[in-house]
Structure 1
Amino acid sequence: MKANPTECRRLAERLDLVDLKSLNATVRLKRVRGGQMIRVRGTLEADVTQTCVVTLDPVDNHVADEFEIIFAPRHLIPEIPLEVEIDPDAEEPPEPLVGNQIDIGELAAQHLSLALDPYPRRPDAGFEDHIEEDPEEVPVKRPNPFLALAKLKRPD
């Protein structure tokens, strides 16, 4: 699946990207667990332009990700109790099928959003150039806490 220019533009707006030059996803669906559930395995690659968090200049990035999700009819998904113990090794519950359909484009968009660099930064960007020092500000000299402890030490 390859996103067309209109889809790329809309997705760039949705994800607050400067530009989404391309998005390609390869997805495989397979019936599992007696044919009642569907496993979706996919890979995606995208070329994006984000905003540098330091300089606000455009930053080009290449994004690549793999994902796997199981979908099931609602009646096969167990109810989640109000209080949940978090087990990092537990298997995630299946996602519900909505109208017996899986929106592959939406799935690719969600996984692209998760794979984006949350703090894009130009390689040469540093905060040093953007920090203004106040010449009237005097650094605060704090007492050394270990000196105070040394005064409390008993002589041997």
Structure 2
Amino acid sequence: MTPPEFSRPIDRRQLSPAPLSLSATREERAALAHRFALVSIGRLEAIVTLTADGDVVNAAGSLAAEWVQPCAISGEDLPQKASESLALRFVPTTGAQAPDEEVELTAADLDEIEYTGHTFDLGEAIAQSLALAIDPFAAGPEADRARKEAGILGESASGPFAALAGLKLPKE
């Protein structure tokens, strides 16, 4: 198993009340760009405060990132950025279910990241938060031109409501 590109292991037994500042190196950003199929990541930073509640660790803070991704339509470079709030919850692995067992999740379970032992990877959680901030269908200013050249976009309206446009009643 390959280690995460942006790994920042944290031992829950050594938490500090001071906020942590994490910043990905050039090499880490390049590796994450490759993982997320981006042209490049120019900035990935987070400020996070960790608080323990027994074996559970809550992380609250913010993520700031800038990247370049290919336009989903034309493939041109499309600069993007995100400034996101972070609210993560690291919980010890329970190991209660079998690999093929059906599990019902509650809303509270959806924001939990399991860890084993005393250490969790805050950097990987930040990287996954970045992945969620990336719009896989982002379209740049040349998208309509590319659609037209490919014959996807004609002179008339397109999309799910295009057929409805023809049903308008004539004005009297």
Normalization by structure 2: what TM-score? 0.64
Taking only aligned residues, the RMSD between alpha carbons, in angstroms, comes to 2.5
- Structure 1 stretches of 4+ with a deviation exceeding 4 A read 77-81, 83-87
**Equivalent position of 1:28 in the other structure:** 49
Structure richer in strand, relative to its length: 2
With CA pairs under 8 Å and 6+ residues apart, which has the higher RCO, 1 or 2? Answer: 2
**Structure 2 CA distance for aligned equivalents of residues 121 and 31 of structure 1:** 41
Where does residue 128 of structure 1 map in the other structure?
Answer: 148
Partner of 2:30: 9
Give the CA deviation at 1:48: 0.5
The alignment-based identity, stated in percent, is 28
Mapping of 1:92-111 within 5 angstroms?
92=109, 94-111=112-129
Aligned counterparts of 1:37 and 1:132: Cα–Cα separation in 2: 51
Match of 1:70 in 2: 89
Aligned residue identity for 1:131: G
The amino acid across from 2:85 in the alignment is: E
Find the structure with the greater CA-based Rg.
1
Q: Which residue of the partner structure matches residue 166 of structure 2?
A: none
> TM-score if structure 1 supplies the norm length?
0.70
Are the counterparts in 1 of residues 72 and 136 from structure 2 also a CA contact under 8 Å?
Answer: no
In structure 1, what is the Cα distance between the partners aligned to 2:88 and 2:48?
11
